[in-house]
Every structure is written in C-alpha cells, then in structure tokens.
Structure 1
Amino acid sequence: MDKDEKKLELAARAAWMYYVTGQTQQDIAQVLGVSRQVAQRLVSLAREQGMVKVHITHPVDRCLKLAEQMQEKFGLALCRVVPSMGLDDEKVEQMIALDSAEVISLFVSDEKPLTVAVGSGRMLRAAINELPYLERPQHSCVSLIGAIARDGSCTRYDVPLWMAEKTQGKYFILPAPLFADSAEDRYQWCNHRIYHAVAEKAQRADVTFIGIGQIERGCPLNVDGFITDKQVDRLKEQRTVAEMLGHFIGEDGQRVSSELDETLTSIPLKPRTDRKIIAFAGGRHKYSAVRAVLIGQWISGLVTDEETACRLLADDSLLPVASQS
C-alpha cells in the first residue's frame, strides 16, 4: 500500500469514528496515534474525497482483507468487517448496525418482489433503524420468531414489523409467543393453519437476516424474562454460548437440547443449509457466540468487527471449512 492509500485509509477510519460513533477529534488522535491537528485534517480529507455521504464509501483496506479471509476460512458467501480498533462494545455495535443496514439495502433495494425473513435482537433492530425508508410494497417481510407476549400484546422482539414499515411491504407475523406455556400449548400454536402458512413462507425466503445472542446472566433473553437465572445456569452447564431465535448452540457449534425446546415456537434452523442466512453480531461480549455459530456453519453471511475477525482468524483451533469436510 503506497503512502497516499495509507493516508486515505486513515481518513476512512477517522471518518467512521467521527461520524458514526461521535468520537471527538482528540479521541481519534489518541486511537490513531496522531496529533489532534492531524486527526482534524484526516476528517476533512474524508469529506473532501467524497467518502462521507449517508455512509462512508471508502472502506478500510485492512477490514476488506479480513473480510476476504473470513469468507475463505468459514465458507461464507458474504462477509463485512467494520473498524473497531480502540472502541468499546457500544460504539462497535453502532458501526455494525450502520454497515448491516447497507447490506440489507443491497437486497431490499431490488425492484423484483422479494421475501425477506427477519429474526430478532437488538443488533438487528439497530440495523433496521439505520435503513432508509424505501418504496418496496412488492416485498414481503416474514417473521421467524413469535412476538406475542402472554397478555396478547406484541413485544419489542417484533423486529420484522419494523422492517416491513421501512420497506412499506406486506408483513407476515408468526402467530405465537416465543415460548409457549407448555408442550401442549406449543402444539396448539404451531399446528394452526396460519402458523403453517407463515412458517412455509419463511423457509422459502429469498434472504434471512438474523441476530446472534450470547448466553449468560443478564443476556437479553434473561433480562426480558424469557428464560430464568436457573435456566441460564443450566444452559451454561451444558457449555451453551450462543442463541438464535431461541435455538441454543454450544461452544462446539452443535445444537444444545434443553427443557426449553418443548415450548419453543420459532422457525427451525439447520446448519450447513443452502438458505441465504446473514447474521449481524460483534463486540467482545459476543465473540464466543459468533465463534460457535461459525464453527457449526449456521450462517452464510456475517457482518462483524475487525477485533472479532482478527481473533477468529488467529484461532488455530478453528479449521477452515474445507478442512472439516
């Protein structure tokens, strides 16, 4: 990389920090190891070079290379890596949300009718928040997870509805709570005609967007009352580190069976599928969860951060997908 390209890459990194996470020029100077005046000039250069519009158009070269290596090692069809050097998890999540919105836009901007399956989670909702409003009434948004609370109201987990509002497309709700009251109750929910129709549509979706949750006390499922402290502890005893749509995954990448399975109503997930499933996750607290999902080959695409990517690529215990087959 020549001197000019290195300068542009620094300008791109400074622009991410300044415009996306709200870092001050002094903060940027400390992270990049330059003076405040140089940091100011880098931010100005990013504007002058046309990098800064609604999103930052000049990627960080190191992140591009990490994304390519991630695709090769884990057999991903798509990977995006955002800068995260020197940033805390909250700011990293802002970065991922912004880039995830761009990935979503690549699909939903298409004029031809599209069926988009949407999961749940704070990162996924943050990504959709960054998505511009689009006139795509021909698209359909399908829920992968029940968003009905026990009192009949819809919950914050109804992320697909927000996606449908952004695209102005048709919305298909999965008519069930995330966890039913009992196995018998689950049978009633999951054998309804409408449930079957929506589930079939979700399984045939053109693309699926999903979040990856970590399993620990204080994780979203625990804080929001879906699983108890004792259930978290039992899952941890089984070496569970990740969760997608209420499906639990161990550190070895395999599905973990638990007492919660008999009441779970969300759409089934299968590893090594041909479906286009793109996940959005990163930050230090999500590393073990992302690692497990990649080991198990549960997804075909990922938007994450550079620190997470570096750790995954440096982990010699993780063999490339081609070596596992």
Structure 2
Amino acid sequence: MSKHDKKLDLAARAAWMYYVAGETQQDIAEKLGVSRQVAQRLVALASEQGLVSVSVNHAVADCMTLAQQLQEKFSLAFCQVVPSGNVEGGGLQQMIAVAGAEVMAQTLKSEQPQIVAVGSGRTLRATINELPELDRPQHSCVSLIGAIASDGSCTRYDVPLWMAEKTQGRYFILPAPLYADSVDDRDLWCNHRIYRTVTEKAAQADIMFVGIGQVSPGCPLNADGFISDDEVTTLLADRVAAEMLGHFIGEEGERAATALDSRLTSVRLTAHTQRNIVAFAGGSEKHRAIAAVLKGGWISGLVTDEASARYALAASA
C-alpha cells in the first residue's frame, strides 16, 4: 500500500469516527495515536478528497481484507466490516447501523416485490432507523419472532413494524409471545391459522435480516425479562454463547438444546441453510456470540466491526 493510500485509510477511519460515531477530534487523536492537530487534518482531508458525503465512501483496506477473510473462512456470500478502533457502545452501533442500512437499501430499493423477514435486536433496530424513507408498498415485511409480552402488550422486539413504516409496505406480525407459558400454550399459539399463515410467508422470504444476541448477565433477553438470572447461569454453564430469534447456540456453533426450546414460538432456524440470512452485530460484548454463529454456519451475510472480525478469525484458527 502506498503512503498516499495509507493516509487515505487513516482519513477514512477518522471520518467514520467523526461523522458516524460522533467522536470528538480529541477522541480520534487518542484512539488513532496521533496529535489533535493531525486528527483535525485527517477529518478535513476526508472531506477534501470526497470520502465523505452522507456516508463514508472510502473503504478502509484492513476492513476490506478482514471482510474477504471472513467470507472465505465461513463461506459467506457477503460481508462488510466497519473500522472500530477503540470505539464501543452507541458510537460503534451507529457505525454498523449506517453501513447496514446501505446493505438493506440494496434490497428494499428494488421495484420487484420482495418478502423481507425481520428478526429483532437493538442493532437491527438502529440499522432500520438509518434507512431512508422508501415508497415501496409492493414489499412485505414479515416478523420472525413473537412480539407479544406476557401482559398482551407489544414489546421492543417488534422491529419489523419499523421497516414496514420505512417502505410503506405490508407488515405481518407473528401473533405469539417469544416464549409461551407452557408447552400446551405454545401448541395453541403455533396452531393458530394466522400464525401458520405468517410462518409460511416467512418461509418464502427473499431475504432475512437478523441480529445476534449474546448470552450474559444483563443481556437483552435477561434485561427484558424473557430469561431469568438462573437461566442465564445455566446457559453459561452449558457454554452457550449466542442467541438468534430465541434459539441458543453453543461456543462451537452447535444448536444448544435448552429447557426453553419446548416453549419457543419463533420461526425455526437451521444451520448451513441455503437461505439468504444477513446479520448485523458488533462490539466486544458480542465477540463470542458472533464467532459462534459464524462457526455454526447460521448466516450467509454479516455486517460487523473489525475487532469482532479479528476475534472470529482468531477463534476459528
């Protein structure tokens, strides 16, 4: 790589941090290991060289290499890696969301009617928030996960509705709680005519957008009351690392059998599927989860950050 290309790479990193993650120039200087004056010049260079419009148009070389390595290692059809540096939390989620929205828009801008199946998760919701308003009433958004809480209210897991509002398309809710109260209760939910209609439509989806959840104390499923502290402890003792649509996945990518399976109402997932399943996830708290999902071949596409990419490659070496 030439000296000029290296400088553009550094400017692109600074642009991601400044324009997307909302970092200050002092933050950028500390994380890139340069002076504040150099950080200021890098941000200015990114603008001068046309790297920044509404999005950052220059792909960082290291991130491109990591994306290619992930594709080859885990047989992905698609992968995009955003530069993370030492950015974490909301800033990193925003970077993944901006990149992920561009990926989603490629499907949603199609004039041909699309059936888009959507899962849940905070990163997925943030990604949909970054989508432009699209006039595509011919598209259908189908939920892959129940969004009904135990008291009958809709939960924050009702992410597909947000996408339907962006596209002005039809929205099909999965009429069930994530976990039913009992096995008999699950059978009642899953044998309902509308439930069967929606899951059949989900099976015909052209693409599936999903999040990857980690399993740890205070993780979203635990914080939102879907699994108890004791259940988290049991899952961790069984080396469960990830969760997708309420399905638990072990550290080596295997489907982990749990006591919750008999009450799960989500659309069924299978590993090494030929379906087009794109996941959006990143951050140090999700390193083990992302690596497990990749090892198990649960997805065909991924938008993540470079630290998560490096972890997954090292974990599978």
SS in 2 for 1:278: strand
Query: 1-side partners of 2:139 and 2:28: how far apart?
Result: 41
Deviations 1:141-192 (A, max 9, x none): 0000010112222111000000100111100111111111111111011011
Deviation at 1:238, TM superposition (A): 1.4
Deviation at 1:33, TM superposition (A): 2.3
Structure 2 matches for 1:264-303, cutoff 5 A? 264-303=264-303
Aligned residue number for residue 18 of structure 2: 18
Are 2:242 and 2:290, in contact at CA under 8 Å, matched by a contact in 1? yes
Structure 2 matches for 1:18-37, cutoff 5 A? 18-37=18-37
Aligned residue number for residue 166 of structure 2: 166
Deviation at 1:311, TM superposition (A): 2.1
Query: 2-side partners of 1:271 and 1:243: how far apart?
Result: 13
Aligned residue number for residue 58 of structure 2: 58
Aligned residue number for residue 103 of structure 2: 103
Deviation at 1:22, TM superposition (A): 1.3
Paired residue type of 1:250: G
Deviations 1:197-236 (A, max 9, x none): 1101111100000001011111110110111111111111
SS in 2 for 1:302: strand
**Corresponding position: 1:219 with 2:197:** no
Structure 2 matches for 1:245-256, cutoff 5 A? 245-256=245-256
Paired residue type of 2:99: D
Query: 1-side partners of 2:27 and 2:296: how far apart?
Result: 38
Aligned residue number for residue 124 of structure 2: 124
Query: 2-side partners of 1:89 and 1:148: how far apart?
Result: 28
Paired residue type of 1:186: R
Aligned residue number for residue 230 of structure 2: 230
**Corresponding position: 1:308 with 2:308:** yes
**Corresponding position: 1:151 with 2:151:** yes
SS in 1 for 2:95: helix
Deviations 1:253-287 (A, max 9, x none): 11111111111100000000000000111111101
Query: 2-side partners of 1:257 and 1:3: how far apart?
Result: 52
Query: 1-side partners of 2:29 and 2:243: how far apart?
Result: 38
**Corresponding position: 1:75 with 2:75:** yes
Query: 2-side partners of 1:180 and 1:305: how far apart?
Result: 35
Aligned residue number for residue 175 of structure 1: 175
Are 1:89 and 1:284, in contact at CA under 8 Å, matched by a contact in 2? no
Query: 2-side partners of 1:34 and 1:256: how far apart?
Result: 45
SS in 2 for 1:259: coil
Deviations 1:282-307 (A, max 9, x none): 11110111111111100000111111
Aligned residue number for residue 322 of structure 1: none
Are 1:115 and 1:207, in contact at CA under 8 Å, matched by a contact in 2? yes
Aligned residue number for residue 45 of structure 1: 45
Deviation at 1:92, TM superposition (A): 1.9
Are 2:23 and 2:91, in contact at CA under 8 Å, matched by a contact in 1? no
SS in 1 for 2:208: strand
Runs of 4+ in 1 over 3 A off after TM superposition: none
Which shows bigger deviation, 118-127 or 251-260? 251-260
Aligned length: 317
Percent of aligned positions that are identical: 65
Paired residue type of 2:141: C
Deviation at 1:91, TM superposition (A): 2.2
- TM-score, with structure 1 as normaliser: 0.95
Query: 2-side partners of 1:54 and 1:137: how far apart?
Result: 25
Are 1:146 and 1:174, in contact at CA under 8 Å, matched by a contact in 2? yes
Query: 1-side partners of 2:54 and 2:269: how far apart?
Result: 34
Aligned residue number for residue 137 of structure 1: 137
SS in 2 for 1:242: strand
Are 1:213 and 1:244, in contact at CA under 8 Å, matched by a contact in 2? yes
Query: 2-side partners of 1:43 and 1:303: how far apart?
Result: 24
Aligned residue number for residue 263 of structure 1: 263
- TM-score, with structure 2 as normaliser: 0.97
Query: For structure 2, which runs of at least 5 residues remain unmatched after alignment?
Result: none
Paired residue type of 2:144: L
Deviation at 1:88, TM superposition (A): 2.3
